[in-house]
Structure formats: C-alpha cells, structure tokens
Amino acid sequence: MHIESIETISLSCFWGPSDRGVERTWPVHLVRADNGLVGIGRGGNAELIEREFAPMLVGEDPRRPALLWQRMYDRAWRFRGPGRTAMGTIGALDVAIWDLYGRACGEPVWRLLGGYRDRVTAYADGIGYEHQNAEEVAALVRKHADLGFKAVKFHLSDDDRELAFDKVRLSREALGDGPRLMIDIHRMWEGKTAAEMSRRFEPYNLYWIEEPVRGDDEAAHMRMVREATSALVAGGEGEGTLYGIRHLIVDGGLQVVQSDIIGGGGFTGLMRMAALAEAHHVYVAPHGASFPEINCHLIAAVPNGLMVSACPHTEPYQIWSQLYDPPFRIVDGEIHMSEEPGLGLTLNEDFIAAHRA
C-alpha cells in the first residue's frame, strides 16, 4: 500500500451571522492510496503541499505516520522552519494519513492512537465573537447549558475589565453551581492585570481561564495568573511545537494544553504533546471549535484528554459540520466515538459542490 496522489479542494463558506459574518476559505485534502482508499484532512497551505510535501509523500506507505511526520518536519527546515504555516500543513496531512491508516486497518483512529475512552465531553463555544453585553452573554451561556452541554465558554471581544467581570458574574448566576464555566481572554492582558482580574473572578468558580496574558513574556505572565487563581490556566493554542509547549508548561505553569490539532502537527504532533503534558500532570484540550470531529479522536485516545470545543448547532459558526454526510453531531454535550474505520467521516459531495472556491 502506498500514497498515490494528494488532491486539494478549496471551499469558501460564510462564517458567522449572514448579515455580519466573514467569508473564509478552507482547503480539504484527499490523500489517495493505490488500493482506492482515501484519507481526509483539513486546513494547511495547498501551495506548500504541492511544492514541498506531496513530492516526498507520494509512493510512501501511509501506515508509517510517525516516519512520514518526521520527514515533513525535517523538510520544513529547508525553507522557513516549522512555523505556523508549515506545522498547520504538516498537521492537515498527518490527520489525512491517520485517517487513511485507520481505513486500511479497519479500525477507528481513536483506537489506533490509544483507545482510552469511547465517549468524549464537548463544551459549548462560540459566545462573545461579537460585541455582546453581559446580559446577552449570560443568556447564551444558559441557552447552551439547556442544550445539554455540561461546560460552556465565552470570549472577550474587547479590553473592558468591568464588562468582563459582569459577564463572568451574570453567567455564573445564569448557570447555577453545576455546569463548568470558562472564559477566553485572547491574550489581552499583561501579567499583573490578568492576575488581578483572576482574583476578582475567584468567587464565580471558573473552571479555566484561557489565554489570559499577552505573548511578549507569556510564560512569566502566565505564572502570575497560575499563582493568583484556583481556576486552571489554559493556553498554547498558537504554539505548534513540542518545545514551545514544554516552555509554557515548565516555565509558565500551563495546566491545559490547547495546541490546535492542525497547527500543532496533527495527531502525531499532539500525541507527543499529550505525553509531555501527562508527565507534568497537565490536561490536553485542543483549540478548534471548527474541528470537534478531529479533536475527539485525540481526546478519546489519551488518559489526560479533557474536552473538545464545539459550536452548538443553534449558532451560526458550525457550518463545517455540514461538510460531512451525515452532518457531524454532538448530543447532550457528548460525542460517542464511532466504530467506523479512520475518522469515520464521509464527505458531503453536495456541500462541496455548493461551496467549492
């Protein structure tokens, strides 16, 4: 069995409310084998695949994903190194290679990676992308909990600290004591400010505080927050390498690794990060509300897998669930892992035809 070709399809979709959203273009990659099987990957850079990675992958055995990953990683140093574009492209191809490997074996990816659990918790994401007041955020938090999600997260869209406090307070009041509540600060604050706000949030029992500090001295600032709050400190979504995550864990006290499943180098890259995280008693919860169908395989595979992010079907940010036939669905805040081989996904050809760029 060997890789015969790699095809990239560019899709363009409107992300967000139809009257004020943004149009986004995403590539979908089809890694084809000589036996007719096809692996699916998303994201990355199509030009980089055509120029650098496809020539080295064609003819290789997709059942050796660690070897192929290392060759791609080593190739990345030939031009600009493993930065975000390169790691995201490696990640997209790695996901497709694992999908192809699973289809060839007749086993789902989550089991090939480790098979630790067959159900994965999802948390509701997608609140705060727009400029919503505290009452609107609290109402959406409650709405998502009523859909069955046991954990809900909202985002800060601007640096208004009193508004941030009100959003946390009213959201906790709307949720009650049971469901988990998380906040994504988008790296807006320096360390002392983030630590001060974390102490103010303390009475409202946040489960985690995500990306609380800016990146100019992220590890030192993150350590200030870690020492100021009982909430978990989550972050690293923009960090694509094992060594960058090691720095955040060891020097910053990071407690939840959120490297993107694509930007972090796919399943091979994230499995290495998960092992590093477990050695420091740290959880893994990859970034990517648009990738729950991929992230769930990683979280199901490892003991320190925590949750996956997902936009509820009631929100206008989950259009990518329609990429598959049937659409990818989360029921009562939980994903029941499929027994289908590979990722267990079939592309929706009508959706692709309608949104091909």
Residue 343 maps to a domain: no
Residue 341 maps to a domain: no
Write out the DSSP string of 267-309: HHHHHHHHHHHHHTT-EE----TT-HHHHHHHHHHSTTB--EE
Q: Is the pLDDT of residue 21 over 70?
A: no
Q: What percent of the chain stands above pLDDT 70? A: 98
Residues 98 and 152 in one domain: no
Residue 253 maps to a domain: yes
Q: In terms of Cα–Cα distance, which of 233, 131, 222 is closest to 182?
A: 233
Of 93-97, 260-264, 321-325, 333-337, the least confident: 321-325
Residue 225 maps to a domain: yes
The pLDDT of 73-90, averaged and rounded, is: 85
Residues 120 and 89 in one domain: no
Residues 116 and 204 in one domain: yes
CATH number for the domain that contains residue 293? 3.20.20.120
Q: What is the tens place of the pLDDT at every residue in 310-356?
A: 999 888 777 778 899 998 989 999 999 999 999 999 999 999 999 99
Residues 178 and 268 in one domain: yes
CB count in 10 Å sphere of residue 173: 12
User: Domains in the chain: how many in total?
Assistant: 2
Could you tell me the two tokens for 344? 């267990």
CATH number for the domain that contains residue 53? 3.30.390.10
**Three-class secondary structure of residue 61 per DSSP:** coil
Model confidence at 57, in pLDDT bands (50, 70, 90)?
Answer: very high
Residues 98 and 161 in one domain: no
Residues 267 and 190 in one domain: yes
Cα angle 28, 30, 32 (rounded to 5 degrees) comes to 175
Residue 244 maps to a domain: yes
Dihedral angle computed from the Cα positions of residues 15, 16, 18 and 22, in that order, rounded to the nearest 10 degrees: -50
Give the pLDDT of residue 230.
Answer: 98
Neighbouring-strand partners of residue 41: 29
Residues 117 and 93 in one domain: no
Residues 92 and 123 in one domain: no
Give the pLDDT of residue 22.
Answer: 75
Q: What is the tens place of the pLDDT at every residue in 152-184?
A: 999 998 899 999 999 999 999 999 998 999 999
Q: What is the tens place of the pLDDT at every residue in 105-134?
A: 999 999 999 999 999 999 999 888 778 999
Residue 59 maps to a domain: yes
List, in order, residues 6 or more apart from 70 with CB less than 8 Å away.
Answer: none
Residues in the chain: 357
The pLDDT of 248-260, averaged and rounded, is: 97
Contact 3/58 with Cβ under 8 angstroms? yes
Q: What percent of the chain stands above pLDDT 90? A: 85
Residue that wins the pLDDT comparison between 188 and 84: 188
The 3 state secondary structure assigned to 214-274 is CCCCHHHHHHHHHCCCCCEEEECCCCCCHHHHHHHHHHHCCCEECCCCCCCCHHHHHHHHH
Model confidence at 357, in pLDDT bands (50, 70, 90)?
Answer: confident
Q: Is the pLDDT of residue 297 over 80?
A: yes
Give the pLDDT of residue 160.
Answer: 93
Give the pLDDT of residue 157.
Answer: 86
Give the pLDDT of residue 321.
Answer: 82
Cα angle 281, 286, 290 (rounded to 5 degrees) comes to 165
| Domain limits for position 146 | 111-336
Q: What share of the chain is helix, strand, coil (3-state, %, to 5)?
A: 40, 20, 35
Residue 344 maps to a domain: no
Residues 142 and 48 in one domain: no
Residues 120 and 40 in one domain: no
Residues 186 and 288 in one domain: yes
Residues 303 and 273 in one domain: yes
Give the pLDDT of residue 84.
Answer: 76
Residue 220 maps to a domain: yes
